[in-house]
């Protein structure tokens, strides 16, 4: 048999005992599509496929970019539950709540089931035949589009999905891949690159004796939360490391801190320089530090820093003393540091501490070299969206393809993305669900869910060498009219460049060929088929890489003094990122809507967090509906009194307020992206997400907050949660 | 179970537990340890439980009426005295994963008028759905508030098609009018114990995990067979000097973290918590 005369199903059968094949062979006999269970005919079942017994198949979680290896429990042709895959160095057999909810993304009742076309009669379902016709008309071999006339807008994308996308653009002589991430960390990365020589170094959390985190929620929604949580667990074993968290609004990670400091938003860099000031008093640290850094730091004595940051001068001394006493340490910065007009300097000042403390080579290392640079993730940022918006508005963009991002929802209101889109003659969305952005497209293509499709993923954070993660279908597709992203792209590519792509009947064969071709790099001597089957069975292929060394620098920095709060807008506004909702793309998952946000325990809603003392002064009570007004716009939401917040700050969670994302998300809460002011980081041009200032007004209305919170940690006089001073615990004697 | 049967066999329902040597000869006694210093409050366990045990999503309105069905939940406290003394929770938050404590002397058991909640030989506090008549007395009597009543017929509405395809076939989908609660993933235990029995052995340590323990990214939850003295969970109980059959624990020295919640109510829970730690010098 040759590849070309096989359809995809046949091809899977050729794989025999390997994972995907068995799954699909098994479920071919069920009546999944109609939702009716039938007695199955297991005429020729695989030996290990027994009705009533679940079988696990490896795949990769696509809920975020961390690239966790997962296993899906499959029974009678249905995927029932996801677990972590122990083979994966990233997940290590563990899985987060967001990952678990991947099954609800797959079985979601609001999935798009047929292609839709925006014709004269409005949005109507069309056949795939018609959809392909339209695609060919616009993007086929006769398309006159060239270069930047076509744009491919995505979220973060890696692996062969990225390769195929770039190959697709190449046939238009274009490199116009626009990657946008509403929660971009581009500013922080740029600062890290400037100081430490790497955008994202490896953090050896478990080796640190002290972690000082400036607003980095690494346990909740950083670069690889499950991996970080696993490392954190080791960090807390004997000898137990200490975590200090400094941030305007307590994150999940902040809740785990030994000491939590509320800081005025945007003054983190100044506090870091204050700590540096103390450290550089000691010759051990000041040795080799360039004069311009010493000059910069000398203005920041404890009292000056305390005035600006709101952190007491004793606390500055204490933090410095602990960094001095607990080596190796690890200092990290997060979104609340970088989200300012001087976010780059702010984050750079924090990273400066790592250099002064000599954490390079111990708790911070460079990531391993990458054997396949073309598979590495393209990470999104905000600037890319601004450029695209400009091109669309000026009429330059003639065709726009959108995959894995929803800018109409996440772009702030000063970026009129939907309006600019209307100037583009042809817009295609690749989605599993109709969302706000797809609603503005001409052709909307229903994708297979992540549990139905093939793919490869390469995570940005590679803790152990490099893992190329494989995603495989855990069951037959639910909707016959849905297609894989790779399959759709390939079908167009085959028309545009038949000589190169005609040999691939589908994305699966493309992926397999690509992986097998890469076999020599993995130093595997197996046959091609064995290599591929092993890769699918394990869910990944590992490449032995070693951490690299970091080239740190101490460039001259300028640190502006943050402007005082003005009377028109007397509050700092902190948009918080929920570990489960992220930028809002997961709001359609009912388990996550009903999962209480840990810090507040609120469900199914948006809310405004305010410090109880400030609320008391303003006579605000929980449930009072507040209007939060920025220079750009306003939203209304219920007050929630929250002690873990700097008193001049109000905070709202991102992710809710959808107008179009299915029944579980639409109409739930409000969308704070829309009130963010047009303030940008001076160095990177990224949107400064934490720089907006707001006024808070009572509307006089009230609605009860729906939450899980109980009254107190005491019940019948007994304390439910007991806390022991760490030095009294006998961790080394524990099991 | 008929009422007459219940009355005739009343004594078997009213065995005083725990008693010395109760599990000496038993093959299984399921127990748990939750390390509050490792728990990061991430909710992986709670979502895993929804996925494994067919827990219905009830929606905002019913959640607001206290009708949520989360068999395990993360309670978040600020530490009442500390929060009052200072303006901010400067020692972070207190996260408490709360689930059925599988009490040996469970307050929910004796009050059930129909014997729907009773004790299993492997030390679980079980709920028999088809005996339950919905008196809700058990829930009223539970000091941990971990029993959940089906006020509505969730099979009608909680899983709009095709969400119902995700339902775990090994777990009953409960209908209106019955009480439900954490089972320690009894379906997993049952399958595992049956398999081991067929093979003429008892389950190995770690062979079967509850969904929450399996998911937990920090491995804060340790689950296992307490009757097997070599199991990790049994060794941890011993190491933490918690005696299943005592209602207050004497520790040989300071700094031993194991405790059971509301132990002085004589509930004899099967879940040991390890005290949260904070470096107070930070």
Taking CA–CA distances from B274, the nearest residue in chain A reads A722
Q: Where in chain A is the domain with CATH 3.40.50.740?
A: 116-181+380-446
Distance CA B56, CA B43 (A): 16
Taking CA–CA distances from B54, the nearest residue in chain A reads A80
DSSP 3-state of A680: strand
The answer to whether B217 contacts A95, with C-beta atoms less than 8 Å apart, is yes
Is the peptide bond preceding residue B18 cis, with omega within 30 degrees of 0? Answer: yes
- Give the closest of B59, B165, B216 to A107, CB-based: B165
Distance CA A224, CA A94 (A): 12
| pLDDT score at A24 | 36
pLDDT at A194 over 70: yes
The answer to whether A724 contacts B44, with C-beta atoms less than 8 Å apart, is no
A466 to chain B, any CB pair closer than 8 A? The answer is no
Q: CA of B50 to nearest chain A CA: how many angstroms apart? A: 7
Ramachandran area for residue A134 (φ above 0: left; ψ -120 to 50: alpha; else beta)? alpha
The answer to whether A100 contacts B161, with C-beta atoms less than 8 Å apart, is no
Measured between alpha carbons, how far is residue A19 from residues A71, A88, A470 in Å?
11, 16, 12
Burial of A151 per CB tally in 10 Å (0-12, 13-18, 19+): buried
Name residues 556-575 of chain A within 8 A of B (Cβ): none
- Give the closest of A613, A710, A728 to B75, CB-based: A710
| pLDDT score at B6 | 67
Please list every residue in chain B whose beta carbon sits closer than 8 Å to the beta carbon of residue A250: 89, 92-93
Q: Which CATH superfamily is domain A186-365 in?
A: Dimethylsulfoxide Reductase, domain 2 (3.40.228.10)
A323 to chain B, any CB pair closer than 8 A? The answer is no
Interface test with B, best of A71, A216, A232, A598 (most B CBs within 10 A): A598
pLDDT at A7 over 50: no
A595 to chain B, any CB pair closer than 8 A? The answer is yes
Taking CA–CA distances from B217, the nearest residue in chain A reads A94
| pLDDT score at A15 | 24
Fold of A116-181+380-446: Rossmann fold (3.40.50)
Instruction: Look at A439-443, A469-473, A553-557 and tell me which has the smallest mean pLDDT.
Output: A553-557
Q: Where in chain A is the domain with CATH 3.30.200.210?
A: 3-107+449-481+518-543
Of residues A208 and A557, more confidence is placed in A208
- Give the closest of A254, A590, A721 to B276, CB-based: A721
Under 8 Å between Cβ of A641 and A622: yes
Helices (H), chain B: 3-8, 10-13, 44-53, 60-64, 80-85, 137-141, 186-198, 211-215, 232-239
Taking CA–CA distances from A254, the nearest residue in chain B reads B92
Instruction: Look at A10-14, A87-91, A598-602 and tell me which has the smallest mean pLDDT.
Output: A10-14
The answer to whether B44 contacts A97, with C-beta atoms less than 8 Å apart, is yes
| pLDDT score at A49 | 73
Taking CA–CA distances from B258, the nearest residue in chain A reads A722
The answer to whether B93 contacts A255, with C-beta atoms less than 8 Å apart, is yes
Burial of A416 per CB tally in 10 Å (0-12, 13-18, 19+): middle
Burial of A692 per CB tally in 10 Å (0-12, 13-18, 19+): buried
| pLDDT score at B10 | 67
DSSP 3-state of A698: strand
Please list every residue in chain A whose beta carbon sits closer than 8 Å to the beta carbon of residue B163: 104, 107-109, 590
Please list every residue in chain A whose beta carbon sits closer than 8 Å to the beta carbon of residue B94: 713, 721, 723
Mean predicted confidence (pLDDT) in A421-449? 98
- Give the closest of B57, B70, B235 to A735, CB-based: B235
The answer to whether B51 contacts A591, with C-beta atoms less than 8 Å apart, is yes
- Give the closest of A95, A242, A262 to B279, CB-based: A242
Q: Which two tokens stand for residue B208?
A: 């079967």
pLDDT at B27 over 70: yes
Distance CA A317, CA A306 (A): 10
pLDDT at A5 over 70: no
pTM metric for this prediction: 0.94
Where along chain B do its domains lie?
26-274
The answer to whether A726 contacts B38, with C-beta atoms less than 8 Å apart, is no
Please report where in the chains the tokens 């309105």 appear, as a residue: B61
- Give the closest of B38, B40, B50 to A252, CB-based: B40
Mean predicted confidence (pLDDT) in B20-27? 90
The model's pLDDT over A227-262, given as tens digits with 9 standing for 90+, comes to 999 999 999 999 999 999 999 999 999 999 999 999
Give the confidence band of A40 by pLDDT, cuts at 50, 70, 90: very low
Fold of A571-702: Barwin-like endoglucanases (2.40.40)
Q: Which two tokens stand for residue A61?
A: 């979680």
Q: Where in chain A is the domain with CATH 3.40.228.10?
A: 186-365
Give the confidence band of A525 by pLDDT, cuts at 50, 70, 90: confident
Distance CA B174, CA B152 (A): 10
Q: Which two tokens stand for residue A652?
A: 């709202």
| pLDDT score at A53 | 86
The model's pLDDT over A657-715, given as tens digits with 9 standing for 90+, comes to 999 999 999 999 999 999 999 999 999 999 999 999 999 999 999 999 999 987 666 77
| pLDDT score at A556 | 77
Q: What is the CA radius of gyration of chain B?
A: 19
Please list every residue in chain A whose beta carbon sits closer than 8 Å to the beta carbon of residue B239: 733-735
Give the confidence band of A316 by pLDDT, cuts at 50, 70, 90: very high
Fold of A3-107+449-481+518-543: Phosphorylase Kinase; domain 1 (3.30.200)
- Give the closest of A255, A592, A724 to B92, CB-based: A255
Taking CA–CA distances from A235, the nearest residue in chain B reads B38
Give the confidence band of A38 by pLDDT, cuts at 50, 70, 90: very low
| pLDDT score at A25 | 32
The model's pLDDT over A543-577, given as tens digits with 9 standing for 90+, comes to 999 999 998 888 778 899 888 999 999 999 999 99
The model's pLDDT over B99-150, given as tens digits with 9 standing for 90+, comes to 999 999 999 999 999 999 989 999 999 999 999 999 999 999 999 999 999 9
Helices A159-170 and A485-496: crossing angle in degrees, nearest 10, is 30
Of residues A607 and A49, more confidence is placed in A607
Of the CA atoms within 13 Å of residue B56, those in its CB half-sphere come to 26
- Give the closest of A97, A713, A726 to B77, CB-based: A713
Give the confidence band of B199 by pLDDT, cuts at 50, 70, 90: very high
The answer to whether A722 contacts B259, with C-beta atoms less than 8 Å apart, is yes
To the nearest whole number, what is the mean pLDDT of chain B?
93
The answer to whether A725 contacts B211, with C-beta atoms less than 8 Å apart, is no
Q: Which two tokens stand for residue B60?
A: 């905002």
For A14, residues 6+ apart whose C-beta sits below 8 A from its C-beta are A1, A6, A21
The answer to whether B168 contacts A80, with C-beta atoms less than 8 Å apart, is yes
Is the peptide bond preceding residue A153 cis, with omega within 30 degrees of 0? Answer: no
Distance CA A88, CA A82 (A): 14
Q: ipTM exceeding 0.90?
A: yes
Fold of B26-274: Alpha-Beta Plaits (3.30.70)
């Amino acid at each position: 048999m040759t590849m070309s005369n096989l359809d995809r199903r046949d091809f899977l059968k050729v794989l025999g005992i390997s994972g995907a094949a068995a799954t699909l062979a098994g479920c071919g006999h069920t009546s999944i599509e109609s939702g009716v269970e039938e007695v199955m005919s297991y005429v020729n079942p695989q030996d290990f496929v027994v009705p009533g017994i679940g079988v696990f198949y490896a795949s990769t979680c696509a809920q975020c970019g961390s690239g966790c290896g997962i296993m899906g429990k499959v029974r009678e042709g249905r995927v029932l539950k996801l677990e972590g895959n122990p083979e994966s160095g990233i997940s290590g057999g563990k899985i987060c709540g967001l990952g678990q909810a991947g099954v609800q993304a797959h079985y979601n009742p609001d999935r798009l089931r047929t292609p839709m076309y925006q014709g004269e009669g409005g949005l109507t379902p069309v056949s795939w035949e018609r959809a392909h016709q339209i695609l060919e008309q616009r993007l086929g071999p006769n398309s006159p589009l060239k270069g930047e006339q076509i744009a491919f807008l995505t979220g973060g994308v890696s692996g062969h999905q990225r390769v195929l996308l770039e190959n697709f653009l190449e046939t238009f002589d274009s490199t116009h891949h626009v990657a946008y991430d509403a929660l971009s960390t581009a500013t922080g990365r740029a600062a890290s690159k400037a100081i430490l020589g790497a955008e994202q170094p490896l953090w050896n959390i478990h080796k640190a004796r002290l972690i000082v985190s400036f607003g980095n929620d690494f346990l909740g929604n950083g670069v690889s939360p499950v991996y970080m949580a696993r490392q954190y667990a080791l960090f807390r074993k004997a000898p137990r490391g200490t975590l200090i968290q400094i941030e305007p609004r307590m994150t999940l990670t902040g809740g785990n801190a030994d000491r939590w400091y509320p800081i005025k938003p945007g003054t983190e860099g100044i506090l870091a320089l204050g700590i540096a000031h103390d450290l550089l008093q000691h010759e051990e640290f000041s040795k080799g530090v360039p004069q311009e850094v010493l000059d910069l730091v000398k203005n920041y004595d404890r009292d000056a820093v305390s005035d600006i940051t709101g952190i007491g001068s004793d606390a500055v001394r204490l933090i410095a003393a602990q960094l001095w006493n607990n080596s190796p340490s690890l200092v990290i910065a997060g979104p609340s540091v970088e989200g300012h007009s001087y976010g780059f300097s702010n984050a750079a000042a924090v990273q400066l501490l790592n250099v002064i403390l000599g954490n390079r080579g111990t708790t911070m290392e460079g990531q391993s070299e990458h054997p396949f640079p073309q598979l590495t993730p393209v990470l999104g940022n905000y600037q890319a969206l601004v450029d695209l918006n400009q091109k669309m508005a000026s009429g330059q963009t003639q065709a726009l393809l959108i995959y894995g991002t929803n800018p109409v929802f996440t772009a702030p209101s000063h970026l009129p993305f939907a309006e600019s889109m209307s100037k583009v003659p042809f817009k295609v969305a690749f989605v599993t669900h109709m969302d706000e952005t797809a609603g503005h497209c001409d052709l909307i293509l229903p994708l297979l869910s992540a549990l139905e499709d093939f793919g490869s993923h390469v995570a940005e954070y590679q803790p152990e060498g490099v893992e190329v993660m494989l995603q495989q279908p855990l069951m037959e597709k639910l909707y016959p009219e849905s297609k894989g992203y790779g399959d759709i792209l390939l079908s167009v590519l085959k028309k545009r460049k038949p000589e190169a792509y005609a040999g691939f009947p589908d994305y699966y064969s493309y992926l397999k060929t690509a992986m097998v071709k890469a076999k020599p790099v993995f130093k595997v001597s197996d046959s091609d088929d064995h290599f591929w089957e092993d890769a699918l069975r394990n869910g990944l292929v590992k490449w032995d890489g070693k951490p690299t060394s970091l080239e740190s620098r101490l460039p001259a920095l300028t640190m502006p003094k943050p402007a005082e709060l003005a009377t028109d807008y007397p509050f700092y506004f902190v948009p918080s990122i929920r570990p489960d909702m992220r930028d809002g793309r997961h709001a359609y998952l009912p388990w996550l809507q009903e999962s209480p946000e840990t810090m507040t325990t609120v469900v199914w809603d948006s809310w405004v967090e305010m410090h109880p003392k400030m609320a008391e002064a303003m006579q605000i009570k929980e449930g009072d509906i507040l209007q939060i007004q920025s220079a750009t716009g306003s939203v209304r939401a219920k007050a929630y009194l929250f002690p873990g917040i700097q008193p001049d700050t109000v905070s709202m969670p991102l992710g809710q307020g959808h107008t179009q994302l299915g029944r579980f998300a639409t109409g739930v809460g409000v969308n704070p992206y829309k009130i963010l002011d047009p303030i940008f980081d001076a160095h990177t041009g990224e949107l400064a997400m934490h720089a907006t200032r707001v006024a808070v007004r009572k509307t006089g209305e009230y609605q009860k907050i729906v939450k899980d919170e109980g009254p107190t940690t005491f019940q019948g006089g007994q304390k439910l949660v007991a806390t022991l001073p760490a030095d009294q615990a006998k961790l080394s004697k524990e099991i | 179970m008929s009422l007459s049967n219940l009355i005739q066999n009343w004594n078997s329902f009213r065995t005083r537990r725990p008693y010395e040597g109760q599990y000496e000869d038993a093959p299984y006694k399921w127990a748990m340890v939750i390390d509050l210093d490792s728990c990061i409050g991430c909710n992986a366990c709670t979502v895993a439980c929804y996925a494994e045990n067919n827990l219905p999503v009830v929606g905002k309105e019913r959640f607001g009426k206290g009708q949520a069905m989360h068999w395990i939940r993360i309670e978040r406290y600020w530490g009442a005295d500390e929060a009052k003394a200072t303006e901010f929770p400067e020692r972070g938050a207190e996260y408490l994963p709360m689930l059925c404590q599988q009490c040996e002397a469970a307050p929910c058991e004796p009050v059930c008028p129909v014997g729907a909640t009773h004790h299993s030989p492997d030390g679980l506090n079980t709920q028999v759905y088809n005996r339950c008549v919905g008196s809700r007395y058990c829930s009223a009597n539970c000091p941990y508030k971990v029993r959940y009543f089906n006020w509505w017929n969730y099979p009608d509405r909680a899983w709009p098609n095709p969400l119902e395809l995700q339902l775990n076939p090994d777990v009953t989908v409960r209908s209106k009018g019955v009480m439900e609660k954490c089972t320690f993933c009894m379906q997993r235990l049952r399958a595992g114990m049956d398999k081991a029995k067929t093979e003429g052995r008892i389950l190995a340590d770690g062979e079967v995990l509850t969904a929450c323990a399996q998911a937990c990214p920090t491995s804060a939850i340790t689950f296992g067979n307490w009757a097997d003295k070599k199991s990790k969970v049994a060794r941890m109980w011993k190491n933490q000097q918690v005696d299943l059959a005592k209602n207050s624990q004497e520790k040989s020295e300071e700094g031993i973290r194991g405790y059971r919640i509301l132990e002085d109510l004589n509930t004899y829970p099967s879940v040991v918590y390890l005290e949260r730690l904070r470096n107070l010098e930070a």
